[in-house]
Amino acid sequence: MIKVSGLTKDYGARRAIHNLSFDAQQGEIVGFLGPNGAGKTTTMRILTGYMPPSDGEAIVAGYDVVEESLEVRKRVGYLPETVPLYQDMVVFDYLKFMGDLRHIPNVDSRVNEVLDMVGLLNRADGYIGNLSKGMKQRVGLAQALLHRPEVLILDEPTIGLDPGQVVEVRQLIRDIGRERTVLLSTHLLYEAQNLCDRVLIINKGKIVAEDTTENLQARLIGAERVIVRVRGEADELADTIKQVKGVRKVETQDDGAVEFEFASGKDLRPEVAKQVIKDGYDLLELRPLGMSLEDIFLELTGNEAKKK
């Protein structure tokens, strides 16, 4: 559905993306992870026909983004990062206008349908300028879904939403991702983790890693880190945990909790729990610590990032 090869974009002397190649299949949700200025938005703008690449080729929904830009734009739903909207328009009128531009039949009922999907039916008559940031975000999403696009490109779709809405929007994206192709950018690893089938990590205009989130984590750290917390004084908790075979890097935190690691693939948590209880502690918490995007970044970008 999306096939990108050798994509390069220069803004004057600055190279925003460099020789990018990836693809995304139908029914796949692909996450685009990267820090600000990595080239996520630039890539998305090229894929949506907003601007042409300096070099390379991108095929979206079977059409070339430069040669057959209009055909691509007909088949792509796009939520830009800045969520541009006509502030002085009524929500319903705005969506109807965008629907008319896409020649959607029975546009009124489709607009209501989409408004229902994003939970904004009760604000259909309100001015966009009066909506909260999260609501505007959902209007933008409704606009992207309006024409049932084959490919959905979402630039930071959950930013600015409150936690309840984030869950709803993620579910919506998941549902759409079953049949269509979704490319979304985010800088939240857990979002990529529970939403995306595959993740592309991009830094300074280049793809530095491409895999499923699980594999990426495992490959990068090769170990899982766990935190243990018990009731009351726990001065010797670290020693207790060290007795378990295979446990590494045991560290006591300031608040008395203890962190340790074990090689991934061999879960040592049951053994640790038994040992802790055997030594007479009241076990309160035994929780795996996920690796944050920052950590992955430090790993992937190596020395350069560590210097900062």
Among 16, 20, 85, 115, binds other proteins (CB under 8 A): 85
Element (H, E) at 223: strand 223-230
Q: Is 215 in the site for other proteins (CB under 8 A)?
A: no
How many whole angstroms separate alpha carbon 165 and alpha carbon 106?
28
Cα–Cα nearest to 97, from 84, 87, 108, 112: 108
Stretch that binds other proteins, among 95-103, 163-171, 172-180, 269-277 (CB under 8 A): 95-103
How many whole angstroms separate alpha carbon 155 and alpha carbon 165?
17
- Which residue's structure tokens are 């996450």? 31
Q: Is 88 in the site for other proteins (CB under 8 A)?
A: yes
Nearer to other proteins, 73 or 225 (CB): 73
Among 25, 27, 67, 101, binds other proteins (CB under 8 A): 101
Nearer to other proteins, 44 or 228 (CB): 44
- Which residue's structure tokens are 């203890």? 258
Q: Is 269 in the site for other proteins (CB under 8 A)?
A: no
Q: Which two tokens stand for residue 46?
A: 């090229």
Q: Rounded to the nearest whole angstrom, what is the least distance from the CB of residue 102 to other proteins in the complex?
A: 6
Q: Is 80 in the site for other proteins (CB under 8 A)?
A: yes
Nearer to other proteins, 44 or 135 (CB): 44
Q: Is 87 in the site for other proteins (CB under 8 A)?
A: yes
Stretch that binds other proteins, among 66-74, 176-184, 201-209, 243-251 (CB under 8 A): 66-74
In 3-state terms, what secondary structure has residue 168?
Answer: helix
**Contact map string, positions 17 to 56, toward other proteins, x by CB under 8 A:** ----------------------------x--xxxxx----
Q: Is 11 in the site for other proteins (CB under 8 A)?
A: yes
Strand order from edge to edge, sheet including 198-203: 76-79, 151-155, 181-186, 29-33, 198-203, 206-211
| Range 136-165, binding other proteins (CB under 8 A) | 143
How many whole angstroms separate alpha carbon 289 and alpha carbon 308?
24
Alpha-carbon distance values, 164 to 58, 160, 161, 167, 170 (Å): 36, 12, 8, 5, 10
Q: How many residues sit in the footprint of other proteins (CB under 8 A)?
A: 28
Type of residue found at 278: K
Type of residue found at 51: M
Q: Is 130 in the site for other proteins (CB under 8 A)?
A: no
Q: Rounded to the nearest whole angstrom, what is the least distance from the CB of residue 132 to other proteins in the complex?
A: 18
How many whole angstroms separate alpha carbon 297 and alpha carbon 307?
13
Cα–Cα nearest to 302, from 204, 226, 222, 210: 204
Q: Rounded to the nearest whole angstrom, what is the least distance from the CB of residue 161 to other proteins in the complex?
A: 19
Interface residues with other proteins (CB under 8 A)?
11, 45, 48-52, 70, 73-74, 76, 78, 80, 82, 84-89, 93, 97-98, 100-103, 143
